[in-house]
Amino acid sequence: MALVTTSAVVLRTYPYSETSKIVRLATRDLGVQSAIAKGVLRPRSRFAAGLELLSEGMAQLYHRETRELQTLAAFDLLVLRRELAQDVGRFAGATAQAELMLKMAPEAPLPGAYDALTTGLDALRAAVPDAVDAVALRGLWLLLGALGFAPALGSCVRDGTPVPTLPGGGQVAFSTAEGGVLCARCAPPPPPTSNQATRLPAQAHRDLVALNDPDAPLPALAPPHAAAHRRLLARFVRHHFGEASTLPALDFWERHAWSPPLPPPSAIPAPAPAPAPAPSAAS
């Protein structure tokens, strides 16, 4: 059994016996791992506050590939991310990202996904209140991309025809099942059904492209448009993960379970107002 040292983020903890916990960790070098942290609930535990949800540290794991449950020897805290708990929206976005890692990441090295997760969590820590939704959306889309589910947004997912962002009005078809936009030839005739494609207004398509580009300015999303983007992302995840599976954190984030309800949303996202200067929290 090898002692492996790797950076890790705590995705979930479960109590185990009176003094121990089982933790699910996203590790940079070993993918998602389960480990037992013995004695973590004792008053003078060497793990101390380190094993808080979404905290990041250097984990030392006694690791054996054939085992489902590893042993956590130490966890030296690097970042606690306490700021996420100061805003329910930030926390909801962060737990949705943690859930994607838990459910979709393999037990194998995937440094790109680890980096996307930590970048997304840190962006949420610093997000200003008006930008929390957009920052969470960008974090989730980029994490999906790192996990191998990046949507095709610049060319038709079916035949590769370029689908540029439209400067003015118009609509672009987006197929959740096929994983990207469809060109005019491949798009089904309106009205679309859930099995075919969503019609994105040109502004929503531009925003979606910006959300999937870490270097683009973060789009300013009014609450109804942010809600439409959340629904689109949640539908995309559920389709590719399996409709029958439960994703409670994604559901909590999608429906803003902590907020008063918005007016009834239209089926198609309406054009957003002209983009405001990008909040610095996006970087």
Q: Determine if 42 is a binding residue for another protein (CB under 8 A).
A: no
What does the block give as tokens for 280? 């610095």
Q: How far is the CB of 228 from another protein (least distance, A)?
A: 21
Side chain identity, residue 280:
S
Q: Determine if 130 is a binding residue for another protein (CB under 8 A).
A: no
Q: How far is the CB of 11 from another protein (least distance, A)?
A: 8
Give phi and psi for 214, each to the nearest 5.
-65, -20
Decide: 57 and 67 in contact? Cβ < 8 Å.
no
Q: Determine if 86 is a binding residue for another protein (CB under 8 A).
A: yes
Q: Determine if 210 is a binding residue for another protein (CB under 8 A).
A: no
**What's the CA gap between 37 and 50, in Å, rounded?**
11
Q: Which stretch binds another protein (CB under 8 A): 29-37, 75-83, 180-188, 262-270?
A: 75-83
Neighbours of 154 (CB within 10 A): 12
Q: How far is the CB of 143 from another protein (least distance, A)?
A: 16
Q: Which stretch binds another protein (CB under 8 A): 48-56, 117-125, 138-146, 176-184?
A: 48-56
**What's the CA gap between 147 and 143, in Å, rounded?**
6
Cα distances from 262 to residues 15, 198, 282, in angstroms, run 37, 21, 25
Q: Determine if 66 is a binding residue for another protein (CB under 8 A).
A: no
- Cα 204 to chain center, whole Å? 19
Question: Which pairing describes strands 69-79 and 31-37: parallel, antiparallel, or unpaired?
Answer: parallel
Give the distance between the most distant pair of CA atoms in the chain. Answer: 66
Kindly tell me the sign of the dihedral angle through the C-alpha atoms of 89, 246, 269, 136.
positive
Nearer to another protein, 120 or 219 (CB): 120
Q: Determine if 147 is a binding residue for another protein (CB under 8 A).
A: no
Give the angle subtended at the CA of 42 by the CAs of 37 and 43, to the nearest 5°: 135
Q: Contact letters (x/-) for another protein, 222-251, by CB under 8 A?
A: ------------------------x-xx-x
Q: How far is the CB of 142 from another protein (least distance, A)?
A: 20
Among 40, 61, 84, 281, binds another protein (CB under 8 A): 84
Q: How many residues bind another protein (CB under 8 A)?
A: 36
Nearer to another protein, 12 or 225 (CB): 12
Q: Determine if 52 is a binding residue for another protein (CB under 8 A).
A: yes
CB half-sphere exposure, 215, CA atoms < 13 A: 0
Q: Determine if 57 is a binding residue for another protein (CB under 8 A).
A: no
Give phi and psi for 3, each to the nearest 5.
-90, 115
**Contact positions with another protein (CB under 8 A) in 247-276:** 248-249, 251-253, 257-258
**What's the CA gap between 112 and 240, in Å, rounded?**
19
Nearer to another protein, 89 or 192 (CB): 89
Q: Which residues bind another protein (CB under 8 A)?
A: 12, 15-18, 43-44, 48-50, 52-54, 77, 80, 82, 84-88, 91-92, 95-96, 98-99, 102, 246, 248-249, 251-253, 257-258
